[in-house]
Structures are given as structure tokens and as C-alpha cells.
Chain A
Amino acid sequence: AQTIHQWPVAEIKAVGSPLSLGCTIKGKSSPNLYWYWQATGGTLQQLFYSITVGQVESVVQLNLSASRPKDDQFILSTEKLLLSHSGFYLCAWAGDSGNTLYFGEGSRLIVV
């Protein structure tokens, strides 16, 4: 069975500081991977997706970047956090021939 793990579970960071969030999926080779962002109490917005190692497509510009250094790993980062980056970040992988997304447990970020 496939498992998806996100880290860290939660972070409190200062404005202007760097950020790195990670996502690892096990049990699925060459998965399509996705980053979503959820404002507190809000809906979800797709940020990035990656179909293969080294390739990342940006969907929404939020002063964030993403990388796919390994087949099973997807990283979300920024060098300078903004207050607007606060929220819940969810990583997902695509199953069922790419038609269904399965989400991780998320990373909660508070920027102060």
C-alpha cells in the first residue's frame, strides 16, 4: 500500500525567514505529486505539480518554489516568508491512472 508522509507537522516561523516543507511517498513508483495550500478555514488551492524527477510546474505564484529531487520526494520552499504564507500545506499523489488525488496529513505553518 502507498503511504505519504509530510514534514514537519507544524512550524511557527518569522516573516522573512526561510521555509522548507517536505513530502515523501512510498509504495508508488514515478508518482505524480502535488502541493496544495489551504488558508485557515478556507478552500484548497493547487500550487505545484510534478510528473517526474527534476520537473515541476507552477500553478499559482505565491512567492514559493518547489522541487522534485527524487522520485519519491517533493519539496516546497521559500527563502523569505510572508505573513500571507500562513496556512495548511498538503501534499498529494495521483492514483487510479491519475484521476484521483490522495492527500497527506499536511503541514501547518504560522508566520509571525
Chain B
Amino acid sequence: AQSVTQPDARVTVSEGASLQLRCKYSYSATPYLFWYVQYPRQGLQLLLKYYSGDPVVQGVNSFEAEFSKSNSSFHLQKASVHWSDSAVYFCALSMTNSAGNKLTFGIGTRVLVRP
């Protein structure tokens, strides 16, 4: 069965600092991988996605993620965070040829950016 692990429940960083959020997945084939962001009391917004090609994918708001098949990872990064990046970030996996396109989510990482 597929699974997504986000080992860090909370991350606190200072404004202007870099940010890395970790995501490890378990799936026998190459999955579709996603990062979503959830701002307080809002729905999920797609940051970026990966299926094939260049392992480094660029997303919205200067976020990028790097896929590693050997490490089964899909870590999210941002070079310089702003206070508005405070939110919960979810890594998610979708199986190829999945009836119903079931997304498996990690537990999320809550990011607090200090001014």
C-alpha cells in the first residue's frame, strides 16, 4: 500500500531564511507527487506537482521540490520565506492508473515564519 510520511509536524523559521520541508513516500512504481498549501480556514492550493522528467520542479510563489527515486523523497524548498508563507503544507501521492484518483496525504507540516 502507498503511504506518505512528513516527519516534521512543525517548523519555525525566521523571515528571509530558507525552508525545507521533507516528504518520503512508499509506492512500488513512480507515483504522481504533489505539494499543497493550506492557509488558515481555507482549502488546499496546489503548489507544484511531479510525475516525470526533470526531478526539480518549480511551483508557485518561488517554491520548488526535488524528486529522488533512490531516496523515495520529494522535498519542498524555498530560498527565502516571507511571513505570508505561514501555513500547513501537505505532501501527497497519487497512484498511476488509479480508479478514482485517490490522493494519499501526509499529516502535514505546520510552518510558522517569525518576523
Give the distance to chain B from A40, nearest Cβ to Cβ, in Å: 11
Q: Using known A-B contacts A43-B107, A57-B100, A59-B102, determine if residue A102 contacts B32 with beta carbons closer than 8 Å.
A: no
Q: Using known A-B contacts A100-B34, A108-B41, determine if residue A32 contacts B102 with beta carbons closer than 8 Å.
A: no
Q: Using known A-B contacts A43-B106, A43-B108, A44-B90, determine if residue A103 contacts B41 with beta carbons closer than 8 Å.
A: no
Residues of A within 8 A of B32 (CB): 99-100
C-alpha spacing A43/B108, complex, angstroms: 6
C-alpha spacing A36/B99, complex, angstroms: 16
C-alpha spacing A42/B6, complex, angstroms: 13
C-alpha spacing A104/B99, complex, angstroms: 21
Residues of B within 8 A of A59 (CB): 100, 102
Q: Does A94 contact B (CB under 8 A)?
A: yes
Q: Using known A-B contacts A57-B100, A99-B51, A99-B94, determine if residue A43 contacts B105 with beta carbons closer than 8 Å.
A: yes
Using CB atoms and an 8 Å cutoff, list the residues of chain A in contact with chain B.
6, 32, 34, 36, 42-46, 49, 51, 57, 59, 90, 94, 96, 98-106, 108
17 examples of A-B residue contacts, CB within 8 angstroms: A36-B103, A42-B107, A43-B105, A43-B106, A44-B90, A45-B105, A49-B101, A59-B102, A90-B43, A98-B101, A99-B32, A99-B51, A99-B94, A101-B101, A101-B103, A103-B45, A108-B41
